[in-house]
Amino acid sequence: MSRDRGALVLGTVSGASAWISLGALAVTSDQLARVGVLPPLWALGACLAGGFLAAWITRLRTHEAWPLTLTLLLWLPWLPLPIFPALTIWEGPLEPLVWIAALDGVVFARWWPAIQWSAWTANPRRAPLVLGALIFALSLATAAALKERLPGGDEPHYLIIAQSLLKDGDLRIQNNHDRGDYFDYYDKGLPPDFLKRGVDGQIYSIHAPGIAVLILPVFAIAGYPGSLALIALIVAAGLAANWRVAFDLAGDAPSAWAGALAVGLCATVFLHSYSIFPDPVGWAVVSAAVAMLVRIALSPLAVRTWQVAATGAALGTLPWLHTRFSIIAGL
């Protein structure tokens, strides 16, 4: 097989990008100047030869090598252009990600035809599971990357309700705050979040107990990490329901993937997928209910009574997650 000239060019270009990547660039604090140090010219020759030989030995074709053009992003901070702060993001911690994306793209493009992707991505039974697994893994990976900031916001308050239920069997949280039970997962001070004391003089959280009850079994076994994984799993299930709704309405898998990913990767869904909040669970319940309505409309005889009952029961839990969900549950 003859070598593809386009692939050889792209391989050589990626070699030049590797030479740039070996350099060091600093930007002054006032963003008015850049100071860069590049490797010696012999290193440039070695990188160009290495990229060329890699494309030659692997017999890359142009349609397989095109992801290597992503490495051109590494050139942006070095171009003799006016300094834009956004350009400097490609110099530093993001450089390895560019190389990972480019090389993974080459592998993916080369072996794509040999894999029966349609068996997993177009099958209406398997594709929702694939999507759910991908989102679940991505949610856990994001949570791991943000572990120094989690839990945050109102999450510790929901978790301490679960601790009160687990340790004391009640919703009176003052003693849990006094003992510092929250130090198991939160390293800052956490005053009780309440409006006024109850008629018995005790402090009850302002937050609804639904999420605490939901995560309680997992929290008892695996603590905060297990609770986070449970929420991510529920969101993944809700997104799988979204995929099936889109497939049933559009009639083809690409449309279902486009619709489900547009929903699952938007900020309001994905950034809640690893959070102990009512919102991700409420969204998943509503997604399941919409999926049920679509199934009833399209093929009512295929829907079983227990499925409708389970959906209705899930909707009935919404007000226990947050009072604002009462309107959604009613509708």
Is 148 part of a structural domain of the chain?
A: no
CA distance 77 to 90: 7
3-state helix, strand, coil in the chain (%, to 5): 70, 5, 30
Q: Which of 117, 112, 70 is nearest to 95 (CA)?
A: 70
Q: Which amino acid is at 166?
A: L
Is 77 part of a structural domain of the chain?
A: yes
Contacts of 105 (CB under 8 A, 6+ apart): 66, 67, 68, 70
Is 287 part of a structural domain of the chain?
A: yes
Q: How many domains does the chain have?
A: 2
Task: Report, in angstroms and rounded to the nearest whole number, the Rg of the chain calculated over CA atoms.
Answer: 26
Q: Which of 90, 114, 138 is the C-terminal boundary of a domain?
A: 114
Per-residue tens of pLDDT for the chain, all 331 residues? 467 788 888 889 999 989 888 888 777 766 667 778 888 989 999 999 999 998 888 888 888 888 888 899 888 888 877 767 777 777 777 788 888 888 888 888 777 665 555 667 778 888 899 999 999 999 998 898 888 888 888 899 999 999 999 988 888 888 888 888 888 888 888 888 888 887 887 888 888 899 999 999 999 999 999 999 999 999 999 999 999 889 988 888 888 898 898 998 888 899 899 999 999 999 999 998 988 888 888 888 888 899 889 988 999 999 999 888 888 888 7
Q: Which of 82, 114, 146 is the C-terminal boundary of a domain?
A: 114
On whether both 301 and 178 belong to a single domain, the answer is yes
On whether both 182 and 104 belong to a single domain, the answer is no
Q: How much is the pTM?
A: 0.71
Is 133 part of a structural domain of the chain?
A: no
Is 126 part of a structural domain of the chain?
A: no
Residue 87 structure tokens:
């350009």
Q: Which of 88, 114, 140 is the C-terminal boundary of a domain?
A: 114
Is 130 part of a structural domain of the chain?
A: no
Buried b (16+ CB within 10 A) or exposed e, 204-220: bbebbbbbbebbbebbe
Structural domain of residue 47, as residue ranges? 5-114
Is 274 in contact with 232 (CB distance < 8 Å)? Answer: yes
